[in-house]
């Protein structure tokens, strides 16, 4: 087991919580014509609101495992004149273009990750945030995620098997003493994937397993001798020293057959996420891209920083 280096206690947001049954993912962008003073005031208010929502949920529904995590994008950080220098690895996410597939970059000023066992509670938290944000910002992504069986993606395979557990979750998800100004924070990266389910379902289970690198029913990883070099497991896992905390959730509409996965991860260093994305989209070696991308298209890609609760409290005035 590895442990992070923290010189004193910190107060992180709920970035290491485990996936819940009901999730809302919201991305908001500030309106271009909005009064800067009103944007600043709204931001201060939303920071205080996020803290209040978490405290209220804990007091009123202590067993609901409800939480709201807020992340701030690079452009918003500058626009709001937040502390300088910025978190070491916070930047505009640049597209990663391989020979066939691209990890696109999309603008995101604020990201809200809302979790609760009770769907009503998740809805109410999301609705409260939306009412607060609407005067100064536009919601550009709203995804309602749900738990599918034993934490499987809609493709039918268990998602997040490589997630760290115990103290390792803090080590890999939360910034430590290597960036003292932002210790207790976390790099938050998201992508909204749409799956080609018709093409996926046309494959045999054996073909699907080779693309993922695991057995479908029992979730057992193939040996290195058997696992294809372009399987998802072979390329997305970049070593035991480079992990992130994933909280992916399925979403979509059955009638239109537009189903997908909202990929979300928290990391102590964004460079770890970049290693994964480069392996998947460019390939290792180049051209040996992640075969799952032939069935899953990234429609969004945004990087945020989730400050500690202490820093959010400061931002809230």
Average pLDDT per 10 consecutive residues for the chain, totaling 317 residues: 48 93 97 96 97 96 94 98 97 98 98 96 97 97 96 96 94 94 97 97 98 97 96 94 96 94 98 97 97 98 97 94
The domain containing residue 195 runs over which residues? 22-315
Cβ-Cβ contacts under 8 Å for 152 (sequence gap 6 or more): 158, 159, 250
- CA atoms of 102 and 280, how far apart (whole Å): 10
Q: Is residue 233 part of a domain?
A: yes
Quick check: 4 and 268 in contact, CB under 8 A? Answer: yes
What's the pLDDT score for residue 2?
Answer: 43
What's the domain count of the chain?
1
By annotation, the residues acting in catalysis are 159
Longest Cα pair distance anywhere in the chain, in angstroms? Answer: 60
Q: Is residue 10 part of a domain?
A: no
What's the pLDDT score for residue 19?
Answer: 87
The single-letter DSSP state of residue 242 is: S
What's the pLDDT score for residue 4?
Answer: 54
Q: Is residue 3 part of a domain?
A: no
Q: Is residue 5 part of a domain?
A: no
Q: Is residue 210 part of a domain?
A: yes
Q: Is residue 4 part of a domain?
A: no
Angstrom distances, CA of residue 268 to CA of 52, 64, 300: 25, 27, 22
- CA atoms of 296 and 288, how far apart (whole Å): 16
Q: pTM for this one?
A: 0.95
The single-letter DSSP state of residue 92 is: P
What's the pLDDT score for residue 105?
Answer: 98
Q: Is residue 8 part of a domain?
A: no
């Amino acid at each position: 087991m590895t442990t992070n280096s923290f010189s004193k206690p910190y107060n992180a947001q709920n970035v290491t919580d485990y996936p819940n049954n009901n999730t809302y993912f919201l991305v908001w962008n500030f309106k271009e014509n909005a009064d800067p003073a009103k944007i600043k005031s709204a931001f201060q208010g939303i920071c205080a609101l996020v803290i209040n929502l978490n405290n209220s949920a804990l007091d009123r529904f202590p067993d609901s495992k409800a939480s709201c995590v807020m992340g701030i994008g690079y452009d918003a950080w500058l626009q709001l004149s937040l502390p300088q220098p910025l978190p070491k690895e916070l930047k505009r996410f640049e597209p990663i273009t391989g020979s066939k597939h691209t990890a696109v970059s999309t603008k995101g000023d604020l990201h809200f990750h809302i979790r609760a066992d009770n769907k009503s509670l998740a809805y109410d938290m999301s609705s409260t945030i939306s009412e607060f944000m609407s005067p100064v910002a536009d919601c550009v992504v709203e995804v309602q995620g749900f738990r599918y069986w034993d934490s499987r993606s809609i493709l039918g395979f268990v998602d997040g098997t490589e997630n760290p557990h115990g103290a390792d979750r803090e080590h890999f998800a939360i910034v430590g003493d290597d960036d003292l100004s932002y210790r207790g924070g976390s790099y938050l990266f998201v992508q909204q994937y749409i799956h080609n389910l018709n093409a996926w379902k046309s494959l045999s289970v054996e073909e699907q397993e080779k693309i993922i690198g695991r057995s479908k029913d029992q979730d057992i990883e193939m040996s290195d001798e058997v696992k294809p070099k372009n399987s998802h497991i072979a390329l997305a896992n970049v070593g035991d020293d480079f992990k992130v905390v994933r909280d992916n959730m399925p979403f979509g509409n059955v009638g239109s057959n537009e189903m997908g996965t909202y990929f979300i991860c928290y990391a102590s260093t964004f460079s770890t996420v970049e290693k994964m994305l480069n392996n998947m989209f460019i390939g290792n070696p180049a051209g040996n891209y992640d075969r799952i991308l032939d069935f899953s298209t990234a429609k969004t890609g945004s990087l945020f920083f989730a400050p500690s609760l202490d820093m959010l409290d400061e931002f809230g005035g």
